[in-house]
Amino acid sequence: MATGAGKMQVAVSATPAEKITPLEGASGASFIAASSIPGGIGGSYEVTLAAIDDSGGATHGFSNTVNDSTAPVKYYASAAIGALSALTAAAMDVVVVKNTGYEGAAGTTKGTVVNTTDILQVAIHDGSNAVSCGFLAAGESMVIPLKAVSVTAHTVQIRSLNASLASFADGANTIQVEYLALT
């Protein structure tokens, strides 16, 4: 069980890559850093946490209650069809959200039905309006830093969307979402 203060460390690096033609007799494609772009971009930061609350359960996405006596329990949220729904996290300085690629309900049991068709919409709601901040395919994740933001006025919301995104049409099925919310 974690006690006391801690921090969340985040690093991001992006390097555009271009495909090069294989040499004669070689098979497969290779990629190199794009020659028309001057390097990549990256950055890092950390969020100081007042305390690591590992007993939070559904409000934080995990609990110190052990599953099979080997690992902390993960909690999952369910991205609904038809409307944005808020994660149950009550207070958060940083949130990590992942599209698991499965359908499923909220809770501690990971779904078994694959959903690699629908897209997960992630939005921040300020009490009046929701602003989309990302669209995640199966297996993709994102970090949302919420430093110095009123937690009571802002929530992270999720929704299942049709993969075309052109019309913001509803997804065909729910998306089970893995998340980690720390404050």
Among all chains, which residue has been given the structure tokens 């019309």? 167
**pLDDT score of 48:** 77
For residue 135, give the nearest of 125, 145, 121, 123 by alpha carbon: 121
What whole-number percentage of the chain has pLDDT above 90? 13
* 77-to-23, 43, 110 alpha-carbon distances in Å: 48, 29, 10
Place 108 in a pLDDT band, splitting at 50, 70 and 90. confident
Is there a domain that residue 1 lies in?
A: no
Number of domains present in the structure of the chain: 2
Q: Does residue 167 lie in a domain region? A: yes
Q: What local confidence, expressed as pLDDT, does residue 95 receive?
A: 82
The arithmetic mean of pLDDT across residues 125-132, rounded, is 83
Shared-domain flag, residues 37 and 107:
no
Q: Tell whether 35 and 113 lie within a shared domain.
A: no
Is there a single domain that holds both residue 74 and residue 164?
yes
Q: Has residue 171 been placed in a domain? A: yes
What mean pLDDT do residues 165-178 have? 83
Per-residue model confidence as pLDDT tens digits over 63-90: 655 544 455 666 777 878 878 887 766 5
Structure token pair of residue 118: 């629908």
Domain holding 124: CATH number?
2.60.120
Rounded Cα distance between 110 and 178, Å, is 9
- pLDDT of 1 reads 43
The closest of 93, 1, 104, 78 to 47, measured between CA atoms, is 93
pLDDT, tens digit, 9 for 90 and up, residues 14-55: 889 888 887 777 777 788 888 888 888 899 888 777 666 555
Q: What is the pLDDT of residue 70?
A: 53
pLDDT score recorded for residue 138 = 94
**57, two tokens:** 């359960």
Asked if 112 and 105 count as a contact pair (C-beta separation under 8 A), the reply is no
pLDDT averaged over the chain?
78
| Rounded-to-integer distance, Cα 26 and Cα 76, Å | 45
The pLDDT of residue 69 is 47
Domain that holds residue 20: 6-47
Name the percent of the chain lying above pLDDT 70. 78
- The most confident of the ranges 33-37, 133-137, 157-161, 165-169 is 133-137
Tell me: do 35 and 72 sit in the same domain: no
Q: Is 11 in the same domain as 60?
A: no
100-to-13, 78, 108, 111 alpha-carbon distances in Å: 22, 10, 13, 9
- The residue written with tokens 């501690």 in the block is 108
